[in-house]
């Protein structure tokens, strides 16, 4: 999505994250506008907009939060696919500008605009196209089955199938956070058990977690397979049907410490 130099970036829904009240519709829309949306009183701006300056988000996740402290609960974390150089992970905050198309990742994309668009919200992490070429936004694992994944944001790259995790460290003073990235390696036959597979094809589409705390991801090839045998709610079908075939276990290469 491209906005050129238009100052009316908030006058279009393109490239924005929207916040809608879908429980109450109006005569003109199948939704209503929450009164506390950030731009409801700004002339020329679409009141649906919650955040803007997005390029092409592919999958967002709402953090369930730490089960003991509640830390992180409700955070919206998204992968935003880049143009030609950088892929980024963003935490979506109310009213913030995520920079496109003046900036791609942390770097300038349009030098005539870069740094001149007012306050910007930078990614929590970005990687170059030497690492991967199309981010698939991930999932903050809060389940009990894989304690080594607890609190980690696990995401991937659609093009080369790599998996990564971001680990957050909260600064004691400012309350800000730093995010450390690491590639995740998959288990081999000597580690996998219960029939779990260690091999998967690339083209990661999405991530999730089932009620038992199994960490899951969906692959392109298997979407046609699972849609041929749908039962239950739409939101559950991929996760449930992928359990026996495509669930993978992640090697314990990250910090342990069971909390369940
Ligand atoms: Ca951005």
Q: What is the pLDDT of the chain when averaged over all its residues?
A: 79
Report CA(121)–ligand 1 centroid distance (Å). Answer: 7
Tokens matching residue 93: 């905050």
All domains of the chain in start order, with CATH: 1-130 (2.120.10.30), 136-260 (no CATH)
Alpha-carbon dihedral sign for residues 142, 144, 150, 155: negative
| Residue labelled with tokens 């170059």 | 128
Q: Residue 45: its pLDDT value, please?
A: 96
Q: What is the pLDDT of residues 77-121, one digit of tens each?
A: 999 999 999 999 999 999 999 999 999 999 999 999 999 999 999
> Which of 190, 209, 189, 206 has the alpha carbon at shortest distance from 198?
189
Report CA(97)–ligand 1 centroid distance (Å). Answer: 8
pLDDT band at 254; cut points 50, 70, 90: very low
Q: Residue 201: its pLDDT value, please?
A: 62
Report CA(87)–ligand 1 centroid distance (Å). Answer: 9
Q: Residue 222: its pLDDT value, please?
A: 47
Percent of the chain with pLDDT over 70: 74
> Do residues 71 and 93 touch, judged by C-beta distance below 8 A?
no
Per-residue pLDDT at 2 exceeds 70: no
Chain centre distance of CA 126:
12
Q: Residue 186: its pLDDT value, please?
A: 56
Report CA(161)–ligand 1 centroid distance (Å). Answer: 22
> Average pLDDT for residues 206-223, to the nearest whole number?
71
Q: What is the pLDDT of residues 61-81, one digit of tens each?
A: 999 999 899 999 999 999 999
> Do residues 43 and 128 touch, judged by C-beta distance below 8 A?
no
Per-residue pLDDT at 174 exceeds 80: no
Report CA(101)–ligand 1 centroid distance (Å). Answer: 8
Q: What residues contact 227, with CB distance under 8 A and at least 6 apart?
A: 237
Report CA(15)–ligand 1 centroid distance (Å). Answer: 11
Alpha-carbon dihedral sign for residues 68, 69, 72, 74: positive
Report CA(92)–ligand 1 centroid distance (Å). Answer: 10
Per-residue pLDDT at 130 exceeds 90: yes
Q: pTM value?
A: 0.81
Question: What b/e string do you get for 146-183 counting C-beta neighbours within 10 Å, with b at 16 or more?
Answer: bbbbbbbbbbbbbbeebbbbbeeeeeeeeeeeeeebee
């Amino acid at each position: 999505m491209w906005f050129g130099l238009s100052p009316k970036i908030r006058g279009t829904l393109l490239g924005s994250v929207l916040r809608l009240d879908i429980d109450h519709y109006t005569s003109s829309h199948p939704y209503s506008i929450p009164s506390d949306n950030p731009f409801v009183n700004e002339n020329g701006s679409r009141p649906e907009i919650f955040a803007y300056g997005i390029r092409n988000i592919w999958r967002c996740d709402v953090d369930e939060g730490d089960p003991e402290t509640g830390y992180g609960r409700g955070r919206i974390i998204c992968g935003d696919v880049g143009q030609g150089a950088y892929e980024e992970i963003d935490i979506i905050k109310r009213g913030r500008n995520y920079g496109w198309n003046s900036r791609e990742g942390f770097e300038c994309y349009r030098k005539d605009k870069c740094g001149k668009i007012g306050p910007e919200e930078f990614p929590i992490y970005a990687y170059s196209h030497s690492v991967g070429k199309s981010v698939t936004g991930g999932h903050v694992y809060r389940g009990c089955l894989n304690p080594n994944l607890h609190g980690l944001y696990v995401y991937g790259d659609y093009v080369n199938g790599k998996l990564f995790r971001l680990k957050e460290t909260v600064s004691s003073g400012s309350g800000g956070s730093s995010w450390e990235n690491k590639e995740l390696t998959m288990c081999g036959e000597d580690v996998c058990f219960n029939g779990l597979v260690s091999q998967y094809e690339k083209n990661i589409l999405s991530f999730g977690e089932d009620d038992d705390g199994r960490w899951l991801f969906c692959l392109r090839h298997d979407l046609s397979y699972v849609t041929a045998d749908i039962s239950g709610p739409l939101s559950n079908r991929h996760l449930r049907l992928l359990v026996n075939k495509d669930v993978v276990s992640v090697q314990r290469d990250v910090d342990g410490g069971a909390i369940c």
